[in-house]
């Protein structure tokens, strides 16, 4: 590790005040190199003379060390780890010969140089007047040791602070937040490492928002060592904001009017680093390319200055295969495989087919999707989606809504075939930082259910007639519906820093007059927000509400002499709401919160979670969830779950382990939930 140093050029002024300057930020690299850019005025003549003496002593020391060939051991006491490490780093370049070749006089000279280096190493941390007691000795094997006992002395305290931001970007929220959060406030210890880090952070913020010419017109540290005080002065000039210039897509095999509409921006829109990252990612997500390279070229001779983009694409029609084996506490073991052909032709269309199985309910599904860009129409697509799903379900009742155990009365298969056709329009908002996906659609569903009583000779007396009970166990649902789906996404960052929002809404309906088995209308709205506060705190909130206008059949049945209520919606199984599980109400089993465990017309859930980062990859969380799926709005019977969790941000994505308690079940049982992925996506 390189030592943190403040080696600069010294020049005497007429009034005997030492002025230490550099040649400006363009001439030297940022912090943690041997030469750090800042201007300093030292009001201390003794320090000035000492500095000149050192400048003469250093060549002598180097000449002395050039005669030797091995190492000396250095020991440092009296300071914390950061200071000790920097002192040792300042001395780790000393290489000497065999110990029997070094006289005590030579070791004394090396000791003096080591003390001087130690003083230099303390200055970036605000200690300019240390007391250093050094000695040298030899071990039994003649190994020379230099020991430095360091008393840092009084720290230089920031007494005056002046930070100004000027230029077109002076009102930028991120820069104003940077200035507000400036750590070297009045009364704090001077720390040049923090000084350089924060300067670079400001330049990074400005550049990422398009102010690529930002620089500091003034960056000074004025020291008064008689009073151990420092005055800091920074003036940031943001300069002009760059905009997007020409976009050259080069040669590719796709028809014009396909790739040209991928960008979330147009020439003349403000440039930002995030916009460029999204552009590269969007090009990859199309699946058309085997290689994507976007180069940027700045032009400052125009007003406003521009960044031209040159896009080089390697395009080839290809087949992609993927497979995955997973496990979740909600679904058990999962197996998935998929095949994609993209682009399917030079029109930019693509086909995706996936097959999956999960242990829960022995569910097997096959899904195929087709997406075709509409030529010469910005970010518009025809879409088609077909799904075949087979699932084994239990028809269950509860003796008491506060009991976690169900009474199973039947088991059977639910087979579904679903086709959806639509038109997708993508809107880019806030310069592409937020996207809205609007999809009007029509869909057809064919669903068959076939339940068998667990005991074939079982009868269930009550208000349920034999014909009604038979229709409950066996039947076919056909539904032709139409509606619109809106999905709004504004998510940035990764790992713990993932933040933003996702909102979704839909409304659709079916009618017997259009060939459906039943009439229904369903509306749904959900929101998820992730908010960062500082470097360690994150707050996640989510809520959803769904309403369906569909008939409900309510029956009273007797099971083992106990009267129970059976509530079954006429809504097809594919559209029913269920709550519970790691992504819903934790503490309860996956989708167990609904009428008779087969789904309901309505749903209400909400969640609040606070997460605290321990390290870059680990964090802990506490949460509370509430909700239920139900048929009767007069009796929603919302269930509460609370718990704690651990988060590990791995290469494969965040892995979440939650332990939650079902507060509204008898005995308040605990349940473990394991999930992979961010809750926003």
Task: Return the pLDDT at 406.
Answer: 77
Domain covering 44-151, topology: Ubiquitin-like (UB roll) (3.10.20)
d(CA 425, CA 486): 10
Round the average pLDDT of the chain to a whole number and report it: 83
Is the pLDDT at 50 greater than 50? The verdict is no
Residue 265 has a pLDDT of: 87
Give the span between the Cα atoms of 145 and 139, in whole angstroms. Answer: 7
Q: How far apart are CA 161 and CA 222, in angstroms?
A: 10
Query: What is the arithmetic mean of pLDDT over 197-218?
Result: 94
Q: pLDDT tens digits for 605-622?
A: 999 999 999 998 999 999
Q: How far apart are CA 137 and CA 146, in angstroms?
A: 7
CB 255 within 8 A of CB 270: no
The predicted model gives 263-278 an average pLDDT of: 90
Report whether pLDDT(68) > 80.
no
Least confident of 32-36, 206-210, 316-320, 650-654: 32-36
Q: Which of 217, 216, 245 is nearest to 303 (CA)?
A: 245
**Which string of DSSP letters, residue by residue, matches 225-274?**
TTTTEEEEEEEEE--PPPEEEEEE----SSPTTSGGG--S--TTSBP-HH
Domain with CATH 2.40.160.50 in the chain: 426-676
Q: How many helices (H) and strands (E) does the chain have?
A: 7, 30
**Where residue 256 falls among pLDDT bands split at 50, 70, 90?**
confident
pLDDT for 45 equals 34
Distance of alpha carbon 295 from alpha carbon 625, whole angstroms? 46
Confidence (pLDDT) at 27:
34
Decide if pLDDT at 67 tops 50: no
pLDDT (average), residues 569-591: 92
Mean pLDDT of 490-500: 86
Residue 530 contacts residue 499 (beta carbons within 8 Å): yes
Q: How far apart are CA 565 and CA 180, in angstroms?
A: 61
**CATH 3.10.20.310 in the chain, residues?**
44-151, 243-315
**What pLDDT, on a 0 to 100 scale, did the predictor assign at position 322?**
84
- pLDDT exceeds 90 at position 631: yes
pLDDT higher than 50, residue 41: no
**What's the pLDDT at 23?**
33
DSSP strands (E only) in 62-106: 73-77
**What is the per-residue pLDDT across 75-120, written as a single tens digit (0 to 9) for each?**
899 988 889 888 888 886 454 445 456 778 888 888 899 999 999 9
Per residue in 159-183, pLDDT (tens digit) is 999 999 999 999 998 999 999 999 9
More confident residue, 117 or 260: 117
CB contact set of 301 (below 8 Å; sequence gap of 6+): none
Task: Provide the pLDDT for residue 460.
Answer: 61
Encode pLDDT of 106-163 as tens digits: 888 888 999 999 999 999 999 999 999 999 888 887 788 889 999 999 999 999 999 9
Q: Is 421 helix (H, G, I), strand (E, B) or coil?
A: strand
Alpha-carbon span 459 to 559, nearest angstrom? 9
Per-residue burial over 128-154, b = 16 or more CB atoms within 10 Å of its CB, e = otherwise:
bbbebebebeeeeeeebebbbebebee
So what's the pLDDT on residue 506?
97
Q: Which CATH architecture has domain 243-315?
A: Roll (3.10)
Residue 458 has pLDDT above 70, yes or no: no
CATH code for the domain defined by 426-676: 2.40.160.50
Average pLDDT of span 417-422: 96
Which of 615, 612, 638, 637 is CA-nearest to residue 623? Answer: 612
Of 3-7, 410-414, 512-516, the one with minimum mean pLDDT is 3-7
pLDDT score for 564:
74
Res 160: pLDDT: 93
The alpha carbon dihedral of 560, 566, 570, 574 has a sign of negative
Determine the pLDDT at residue 63. 42
- Burial letters 4-27, b for 16+ CB under 10 A, else e: bbbebeeeeeeeeebebebeebee
For strand 537-549 and strand 602-613, is the pairing parallel, antiparallel, or unpaired? antiparallel
Q: How confident is the model at residue 243 (pLDDT cuts 50, 70, 90)?
A: very high
For 14, the 3-state DSSP assignment is: coil
- Please give the residue that has the higher pLDDT: either 409 or 212: 212
Judged against a pLDDT cut of 50, whether residue 58 lies above it is answered with: no
Q: How far apart are CA 592 and CA 629, in angstroms?
A: 9
Confidence of residue 30 (pLDDT cuts 50, 70, 90): very low
Quick one: DSSP state of residue 76?
E
Number of Cβ within a 10 Å radius of residue 202: 21
Q: Which tokens go with 252?
A: 């590719």
- What pLDDT, on the 0 to 100 scale, is given for residue 34? 35
- The residues, ordered by sequence, that sit 6+ positions from 630 with a Cβ below 8 Å of its Cβ are 594, 595, 600, 601, 602, 603, 636, 637
Separation between Cα atoms, residue 503 and residue 506, nearest integer Å? 11
Residues 660/587, Cβ–Cβ less than 8 Å? yes
Residues 593 and 615: their CA atoms lie apart, in Å, by: 36
Residue 163, token pair as written in the block: 């930070």
User: Which sign, positive or negative, has the C-alpha torsion 63, 65, 66, 67?
Assistant: positive
Please state at what angle helix 192-208 crosses helix 273-285, rounded to 10 degrees.
60
Query: What are the angstrom distances between the C-alpha of 191 and each of 82, 227, 232?
Result: 12, 17, 11
Percent of the residues in the chain that have a pLDDT greater than 90, as a whole number: 48
pLDDT digits (tens, 9 = 90+) for 547-557: 999 999 887 77
Neighbours of 616 (CB within 10 A): 9
Question: In angstroms, what CA-CA distances link 507 with 40, 486, 520?
Answer: 66, 9, 11
């Amino acid at each position: 590790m390189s030592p943190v140093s403040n080696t600069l050029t010294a020049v005497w002024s007429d009034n005997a005040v030492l002025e230490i300057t550099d040649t400006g930020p363009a001439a030297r690299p940022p912090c943690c190199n041997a030469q750090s850019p800042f201007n300093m005025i030292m009001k201390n003549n003794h320090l000035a003379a000492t500095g000149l003496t050192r400048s003469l002593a250093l060549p002598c020391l180097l000449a002395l060390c050039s005669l030797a060939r091995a190492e000396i051991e250095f020991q440092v006491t009296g300071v914390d780890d950061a200071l000790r490490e920097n002192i040792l780093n300042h001395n780790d370049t000393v290489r000497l010969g065999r110990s029997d070749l070094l006289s005590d006089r030579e070791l004394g000279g090396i000791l003096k140089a080591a003390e001087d280096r130690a003083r230099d190493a303390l200055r970036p941390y605000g200690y300019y007047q240390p007391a250093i007691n050094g000695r040298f000795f030899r071990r039994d094997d003649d190994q020379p040791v230099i020991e430095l006992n360091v008393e840092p002395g009084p720290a230089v305290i920031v007494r005056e602070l002046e930070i100004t931001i000027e230029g077109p970007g002076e009102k930028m929220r991120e820069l104003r937040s940077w200035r507000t959060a400036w750590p070297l406030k009045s009364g704090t210890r001077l720390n040049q490492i923090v000084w350089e880090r924060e300067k670079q952070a400001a330049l990074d913020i400005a550049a990422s928002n398009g102010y690529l010419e930002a620089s500091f017109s003034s960056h000074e540290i004025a020291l008064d060592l008689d009073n151990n005080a420092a005055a800091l002065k920074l003036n940031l000039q943001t300069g002009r904001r760059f905009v997007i210039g020409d976009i050259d897509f080069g040669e590719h095999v796709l028809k014009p009017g396909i790739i040209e509409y991928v960008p979330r921006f147009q020439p003349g829109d403000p440039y930002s680093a995030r916009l460029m990252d999204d552009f590269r990612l969007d090009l990859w997500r199309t699946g058309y390319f085997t290689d994507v390279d976007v180069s940027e070229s700045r032009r400052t001779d125009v007003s406003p200055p521009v960044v031209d983009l040159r896009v080089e694409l390697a395009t080839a029609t290809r087949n992609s295969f993927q497979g995955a084996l997973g496990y979740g506490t909600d679904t058990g073991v999962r197996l998935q495989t998929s095949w994609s052909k993209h682009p399917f032709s030079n029109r930019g269309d693509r086909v995706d087919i996936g097959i999956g199985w999960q242990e829960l309910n022995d569910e097997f599904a096959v899904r195929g999707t087709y997406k075709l860009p509409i030529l010469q129409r910005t970010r518009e697509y025809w879409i088609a989606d077909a799904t075949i799903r087979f699932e084994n379900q239990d028809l269950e009742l509860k003796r008491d809504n506060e009991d976690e155990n169900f009474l199973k009365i039947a088991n059977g298969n639910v087979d579904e075939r679903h086709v959806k056709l639509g038109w997708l329009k993508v809107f880019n908002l806030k310069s592409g930082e937020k996207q809205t996906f609007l999809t009007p659609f029509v869909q057809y569903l064919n669903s068959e259910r076939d339940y068998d009583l667990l005991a074939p000779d079982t009868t269930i007396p009550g208000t349920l007639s034999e014909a009604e009970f038979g229709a409950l166990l066996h039947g076919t649902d056909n539904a032709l519906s139409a509606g619109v789906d809106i999905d709004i996404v504004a998510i940035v960052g990764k790992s713990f820093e993932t933040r933003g929002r996702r909102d979704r809404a839909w409304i659709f309906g079916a009618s017997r007059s259009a060939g459906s088995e039943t009439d229904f209308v369903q509306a749904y709205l959900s929101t998820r927000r992730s908010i960062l506060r500082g470097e360690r705190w994150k707050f996640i909130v989510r809520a959803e509400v769904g309403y369906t206008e569909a008939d409900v059949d309510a029956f009273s049945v007797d099971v083992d002499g106990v009267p129970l209520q059976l509530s079954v919606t006429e809504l097809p199984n594919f559209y029913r709401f269920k709550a519970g599980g790691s992504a819903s109400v934790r503490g309860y089993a996956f989708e167990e919160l609904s009428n008779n465990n087969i789904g309901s017309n309505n749903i209400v859930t909400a969640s609040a979670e606070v997460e605290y980062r321990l390290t870059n990859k680990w964090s802990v969380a506490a949460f509370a969830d509430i909700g239920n799926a139900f048929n009767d709005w007069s009796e929603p019977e919302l269930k509460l779950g609370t718990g704690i969790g651990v988060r590990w941000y791995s290469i494969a994505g965040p892995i979440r382990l939650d332990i939650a308690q079902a507060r509204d079940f008898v005995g308040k049982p605990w349940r473990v939930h394991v999930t992979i992925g961010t809750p926003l996506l």
